[in-house]
Amino acid sequence: MKNQLRFLIGCAVILLAMSFQIIKTTLSVTVRDELGNTVEGASVQLFETEEDYTKEENVAAQGVTNAKGVLKLKELKATTYFVIVRKDDKDNSGGGEQTGKLEENKINKVTIIIQ
Give the domain CATH number at 65: 2.60.40.10
Q: How much is the average pLDDT of 55-68?
A: 98
> 92 and 83 in contact (C-beta within 8 Å)?
yes
Q: Of 14-18, 73-77, 93-97, which has the strongest mean pLDDT?
A: 73-77
Range of the domain at 91: 23-113
- Asked if residue 74 belongs to a domain, the reply is yes
- Asked if residue 12 belongs to a domain, the reply is no
Q: How many domains does the chain have?
A: 1
> pLDDT tens-digit profile of 34-49?
999 999 999 999 999 9
Whether pTM > 0.85 for this model: the answer is no
pLDDT of amino acid 23: 85
Sheet with strand 70-73: strands edge to edge: 70-73, 26-32, 107-113
Q: DSSP state, 40? A: T
pLDDT of amino acid 94: 82
- Asked if residue 98 belongs to a domain, the reply is yes
Q: How far apart are CA 25 and CA 10, in angstroms?
A: 30
What is the DSSP code string of 2-27?
Answer: HHHHHHHHHHHHHHHHHHPPPPPPEE
- Asked if residue 11 belongs to a domain, the reply is no
